[in-house]
A and B are shown apart, each in its own frame.
Chain A
Amino acid sequence: MSESKGRYGIYGGQYVPETVMNAVTELEEAYNKYKDDPEFIAELKKLYRDYAGRPSMLYYADKMTKDLGGAKIYLKREDLNHTGSHKINNVLGQILLAKRMGKKRIIAETGAGQHGVATATVCALFGLECQVYMGAEDVKRQSLNVYRMNLLGTKVVPVESGTATLKDAINEAMRDWCTNISTTFYCIGSVMGPHPYPQMVRDFQKIISEETKAQLMEAEGRLPDCVVACVGGGSNAMGSFYDFIGDESVRLVGAEAAGKGIETKLHAATLAKGSLGIFHGMKSIFLQNEFGQIDPVYSISAGLDYPGIGPEHAYLWETKRAEYVDITDEEAVQAFEYLSRTEGIIPAIESSHAVAAARKIAPTMGKDQIMVITISGRGDKDVYSIAKYRGIDIVES
């Protein structure tokens, strides 16, 4: 047995119960074995192309560019992927691994339901039993995604404990994993949890930045000046940033959920207001009180409603390689409406946080500069809750 693994500076590690240590080690070995295996890569690439619809488009947003009057804006259209978000990139990778590891039962947690839907979809494709844990609060606000998962043959378990949101869904998924460790593969949806998850999920998501780089090189012959993505656990942002980390001229911006404002208690702005802790398998930054009790968090976006952040983001933040800004519910809703009207693209409320950050930053940049915004998911799932936010009841009778 070796020593602590999976570190990004002081962040990361494997802080999980003994029961799952062999499972994370087994997963790490399988991942290391297959990640460079030509057959595995070929199968994943084929699925990315034929099933998920990759590469996702890099779209020049002309109207938005002119309207904001600053940098040229490109949208990385992860919303056009099959299942409607970037989550499918990671799920396809993990399920191919699970298959090779001989696992028959898949569990996952989900916040907004995007990761749950992606997992349910791929499990349907491969004929695997799937159970998704979802906070009871999120089940209510994302009922469309719950129905989609059911339709795909997945059992959705509403989690009533704690704050009944994403962190509680992760707690319950971890308890299930401890209990059914020999049969079950835990498909974590973000760049979080114990090693090897943060690294593995990032590797399955880094295709976002690799494609962006190649597509922009073709369109503009150069690197972007700024890349913006929303951050909850941080998977789409990590994927959007990763291939640019070595390119120091590229400014990397993550948009955190400030909910009702970071001066209130109703937010999920981990890096703005959090402190160093150890939770959900990793040392990272968490919203917590002085005694280490994890804070209840809030955001209009169920997918960003998480009191922590992936360890590699914590490291990018500490080393100032990436910067993180706070976007309130109101700013995100305005950005949701703005992109819908300006470009005819309805972004997920999560991704709307990135759009809102971009609306602030782009006008401060030169017209010769380029900004890429990752639209991590589509907003169909959010239409009901945004209408409700605006005081409109659209429930059909």
Chain B
Amino acid sequence: MNRIDACLSKLKAEGKKALITFITAGDPSLDTTEKLVLTMFDNGADIIEIGVPFSDPIAEGTTIQEASLRALSTGETNLDTIFELVKRLRAKTDKPLVLMMYINTIFRYGTEKFFKLCKENGIDGVIVPDLPYEERDEILPYAKANGIIPISMVTPASHERIRAIASQAEGFLYCVSSNGVTGTRSCFSTDFDSFFGEIKKSCKIPAMVGFGISSPEQAKKMSGYCDGVIVGSAVVKIVAQYGKDSAEKVGEFTESLKDAMN
């Protein structure tokens, strides 16, 4: 069983909500990323998304755009070195690791080679925000061949598309909290009862909500609608502020999110 499925079914059996956190690989260094992933797991993260920095991240707000730029500007961050990082992490943790990245970084690397290396190094899933349902065949055969889960996304603008997307989704369904890009939000305008009502009609796997969740209070509230939350920009902001010395703060923040939800 894929580590994502195993992790989420265990949480479900325990009646617990999942905490998924995100950081950008190589921000400000790959060594820091390694430390932060382990710290977040130690402090309650169930699944971690490692962001592969891209020069032109169209689905990201300024926080993750800037993190991508910091990571790329070191000159050490690329898919080869990220796979090495994943390999080192895999030696130290059995928890699920997901890569969040743009389709061009997979495609240019070589889709077949990419998914083979995901399997070899211990990646469990990929999230590709600029690869919609209609273009899923770009990666699907390669992901399946290597047991890597392609995570599907739905948004408040998906409407009637939710059914088709949710019914074929695997691992977990990434439910985008509001239309727009990643980044912390002080409030949401989405009608969550109706959004998650629609999702629950066709989604047979755990549903996670992400985009804009930045505080323990929001995490608690939003996890009430579904099976867990995804927190990205709020973590990246701490890394932006404390850099190589952010482990303690990131750990504390992760713990506060987890505590608020369960």
Contact = CB atoms under 8 A, between A and B. Distances in A.
Interface of A: 1-5, 13-23, 161-162, 167-168, 171, 174-175, 178-182, 275-281, 286, 288, 290-294
Contact of B132 (A16, A171, A276, A291): A16
Given A179-B181, A279-B104, A294-B56, A19 B155 contact: yes
B142 interface: no
Contacts of B78: 291
A277 B134 contact: no
A278 B103 contact: yes
B135 interface: yes
Contact of B164 (A1, A182, A292): A1
Interface in B204-261: none
A1 B161 CA distance: 7
Contacts, number: 126
A155 to B, nearest CB: 19
Interface of B: 54-59, 61-62, 65, 72, 78-79, 102-109, 129-135, 137-138, 153-155, 157-159, 161, 164-165, 176, 179-181
A13 B137 CA distance: 12
Given A3-B134, A14-B135, A18-B155, A178 B180 contact: yes
B165 A277 contact: no
18 contacts: A2-B134, A3-B134, A14-B134, A15-B103, A17-B129, A17-B132, A18-B133, A18-B155, A19-B176, A22-B157, A175-B180, A178-B181, A276-B107, A276-B108, A288-B104, A291-B78, A291-B108, A291-B109
Given A15-B131, A15-B132, A276-B107, 19 more contacts: A1-B133, A2-B134, A4-B134, A5-B134, A15-B103, A17-B130, A17-B155, A18-B155, A18-B157, A18-B161, A19-B176, A21-B157, A175-B181, A178-B59, A178-B179, A181-B179, A291-B78, A292-B54, A293-B105
A285 B137 CA distance: 20
A292 B103 CA distance: 9
A172 B210 CA distance: 21
A95 B154 CA distance: 29
A1 B134 contact: yes
A195 B206 CA distance: 32
| B65, B79, B104, B159: most-surrounded residue (chain A CB, <10 A) | B104
Contacts of B72: 293
B108 A275 contact: yes
Contacts of B54: 292-293
A21 B161 contact: yes
A326 to B, nearest CB: 23
B68 to A, nearest CB: 10
A179 B177 CA distance: 12
A14 B157 contact: no
Contacts of A2: 134
B243 to A, nearest CB: 21
